Amino acid sequence: MSNAMKKEMATPQTAKNILAIENLDKSFGSVKILKDINVAIEPGDFLVLVGPSGCGKSTLLNCIAGLESSTNGDIRIGGRSMTGVSPKDRDIAMVFQSYALYPTMTVGKNITFGMKVRGVAEQEQQRKLDEVAKLLQIDHLLNRKPSQLSGGQRQRVAMGRALVRDPQLFLFDEPLSNLDAKLRVEMRTEIKRLHQTLGASIVYVTHDQIEAMTLATKIVVMKDGVIQQAGTPNEIYNQPANMFVADFMGSPSMNLIPASAEKQGDATKISITRPDMEDIVLDFDREIEGLKSGKKSVILGLRPENITDSTNQHITKGQIADCRVDVVEPAGSDTFVVTNLAGKQVTARLNADATIIAGETASFAFDLSKASVFEPETGARIA
């Protein structure tokens, strides 16, 4: 990543940042887990740390919680430096992947344990417990043991335990990954609703890019301990900073097609070579970084929804090209069509009622207004 980009990404540190992480490094022995992490969020932000497993996102969360110490750099919560501050004094609450409910305590005791440790008055404990139990609709479960609860109920209890703390910052460590698909979607909505009603500041770790897109006000994409991109879901989705982000975010993921860009006077053309059919040549209406004149190989990034059925009435822009259809995958609301461009599988997203047959040739509309262009060597975005 270039220095220029790093500067651009680093969010300015202001007094109203609820969480600010500056130049954070973390190593285990000689292995660097986190490298030069800079993140800041404002009150009410929902920050999602997303990345493949082993990217360091959970370590980063543990560093914020104070459960692991960082090697270099500083973490500030509510403007206060957290160096040497133990987890209990950080004014945070945390929800874990396995829920980490205390197995021998009832639901009520689980929720009030933290207050009990802190010596909060009995009455106050009860009041807060009632309040949170009502909010999460777990009032009828308070006398049960965790082993008697369903996965979704445990999840609620774990959130209840965090909510009673009423902390400056909530930390969620993959809280939905132990739930089945249906429940996960329900709880996702629930978490989003809680965030909206409470206006809480949240840092949320997940490997699921859909969770990241749906929940976040701000996303940080990580890989190998390095922040790849930080931005709003919209920015991350539409202007991925590099090929990793482009590929990781979105499902089905972005098509990354080897192509060559050519400057012809004022116009820029992108062409995709095909062994068995004639080349596809497309007009591109933006500047490509580093292409002043002549030819250059690039990677063209096109989301499936930007390759559509040419007969679709709603598509006014887009350039038509014929492609052979390899596989047709109806998905109910859409139909995905797989074709082959420049030796790569390319997915197009068509209307559900598209009449298209595998093995035949069909014409597709390519919308390059939302396309990304990447440098093949570095993977960095150049347009």
Partner 1 sequence: MTDHSMNDHQLDERANRNRLMKRIALRLGLYTLLILFALYYLMPLFVMVVTSLKSLDEIRTGSLLSLPREIDFSSWGKAWSGACTGIQCNGLQPYFWNSVLLSIPAVAISTLLGAINGYVLAQWRFKGSNILFALMLFGCFIPFQVVLLPMAITLGALKIAGTIPGLMLVHIVYGIGFTTLFFRNFYVTIPQELVKAAKVDGAGFFRIFFSIFLPVSPPIIVVTVIWQFTQIWNDFLFGVSFSQAGTQPITVALNNIVNATTGVKEYNVDMAAAIIAALPTLLVYVVAGKYFIRGLTAGSVKG
Residues in contact with partner 1 by CB under 8 A are 62, 65, 67, 86-88, 92-94, 96-98, 100, 102-105, 113-114, 117-118, 161, 173
The H or E element containing residue 206 is strand 202-206
User: What is the distance, to the nearest Å, from the Cα of residue 368 to the centroid of all Cα atoms in its chain?
Assistant: 24
Task: Give how far Cα 313 sits from Cα of 309, 369, 371, Å.
Answer: 9, 18, 21
Beta bridge partners of 340: 345
Closest to partner 1 by CB, 116 vs 295, is 116
Most distant CA pair in the chain: distance in Å?
78
Query: What is the DSSP-derived secondary structure letter of residue 187?
Result: H
Residues 41/218, Cβ–Cβ less than 8 Å? yes
Query: What is the DSSP-derived secondary structure letter of residue 214?
Result: H
Residue type for 72, please?
A: N
Please report how close the Cβ of residue 264 comes to partner 1 at its closest, in angstroms: 59
Closest to partner 1 by CB, 93 vs 219, is 93
- Residue of 32, 21, 17, 12 lying closest to 63 (CA atoms): 21
Please report how close the Cβ of residue 191 comes to partner 1 at its closest, in angstroms: 18
Residues 341/257, Cβ–Cβ less than 8 Å? yes
Q: What phi and psi, each to the nearest 5 degrees, are found at residue 185?
A: -65, -40
Closest to partner 1 by CB, 96 vs 336, is 96
Closest to partner 1 by CB, 16 vs 118, is 118
Please report how close the Cβ of residue 94 comes to partner 1 at its closest, in angstroms: 5
Q: Which two tokens stand for residue 15?
A: 């007094």
Task: Give how far Cα 358 sits from Cα of 167, 214, 371, Å.
Answer: 56, 33, 26
Closest to partner 1 by CB, 97 vs 253, is 97
Please report how close the Cβ of residue 104 comes to partner 1 at its closest, in angstroms: 4
**Cis before 252 (ω within 30):** yes
Closest to partner 1 by CB, 92 vs 365, is 92
Please report how close the Cβ of residue 114 comes to partner 1 at its closest, in angstroms: 3
Q: Which two tokens stand for residue 78?
A: 């509510």
Please report how close the Cβ of residue 192 comes to partner 1 at its closest, in angstroms: 23
Closest to partner 1 by CB, 101 vs 141, is 101
Closest to partner 1 by CB, 97 vs 351, is 97
- Sign of the torsion angle spanned by Cα atoms 323, 324, 327, 328: positive
Please report how close the Cβ of residue 47 comes to partner 1 at its closest, in angstroms: 18
Please report how close the Cβ of residue 256 comes to partner 1 at its closest, in angstroms: 37
